Amino acid sequence: MKKELVIPEGINVDVTDKKITVNGKLGKLEKEFKYFHDIKLEKQDNKLTVSCESEKKKVKAMIGTIISHTKNLIQGVTAGYTYKLKAVYTHFPMTSKVEGNRVVITNFLGEKTSRTAKILEGVKVEINGQDLTVTGNDLEKVAQTAANIETATKITKKDRRIFQDMIAIVKGKA
């Protein structure tokens, strides 16, 4: 079983053992596939070839996963990723701000303590009123940071039909 991925111009892909490194105009990303045994990664000219001797369904799925991750790395170093979030409140006006490597949300549901969400390395968060924009070139880190912000405003022990305050992901992966 074998699949190929054509590498676009301006992108440099290096393959060493089970590690793929992609360089582009927005930086350098790397991904290691150490758990995928028996799968061979090879780069020839402008093509990345992922192959295996086996014809099993799981192997086919793993090959597709490696190709998809590599496509995400290529898009990350060419265009990057953006997630948009919206702060919605009905009862108490919440505010959010960036402090170092975390987003601090104050006055959420009138709480005296602030809620925080971690910003992962290489990710930038911009706050413009009620709109939050999370950008970066690594899809996994950008998505996890957006999820951290959304999870920080999770409501527990209250009726969610009445208390509908939250920060929610409006648009992702573009």
Specify the CATH number for the domain of residue 53.
3.90.930.12
Residues 10 and 43 placed together within one structural domain of the fold: yes
**E strand map for 9-123:** 12-16, 19-24, 27-32, 40-44, 47-51, 81-88, 95-99, 102-106, 115-118
Half-sphere exposure of 137 (CA within 13 A, CB side): 18
The verdict on 90 and 163 lying in the same domain is yes
**Do 162 and 139 share a structural domain?**
yes
- Low-confidence stretches of the chain (pLDDT < 70) are 174
Same domain, 111 and 167: yes
Q: What is the pLDDT of residue 55?
A: 83
**The domain boundary residue, chosen from 35, 57, 78:** 78
The span from the CA of 7 to the CA of 39, in Å, is 19
| Shared-domain flag, residues 109 and 153 | yes
Residue with tokens 């590498």: 7
The amino acid occupying position 20 is I
Task: Give the predicted TM-score (pTM) of the model.
Answer: 0.89
Range of the domain at 149: 81-171
DSSP string, 76-88: HHHT-EEEEEEEE
**Which of 78, 105, 124 corresponds to the end of one domain?**
78
The dihedral sign for the CA sequence 141, 142, 143, 149: positive
Q: Do residues 52 and 126 share a domain?
A: no
Q: What pLDDT score does 126 carry?
A: 96
Please tell me the predicted confidence (pLDDT) of residue 56. Answer: 85
| H or E segment to which residue 128 belongs | strand 124-128
Other CB atoms within 10 Å distance of the CB of residue 83: 25
**74 and 89 part of one domain:** no
Q: Which run of H or of E encompasses 131?
A: strand 131-136
Buried-state track 126-154, b at ≥16 Cβ within 10 A, e below 16: eeeeeebebebbbbebbbbbbebbbebbe
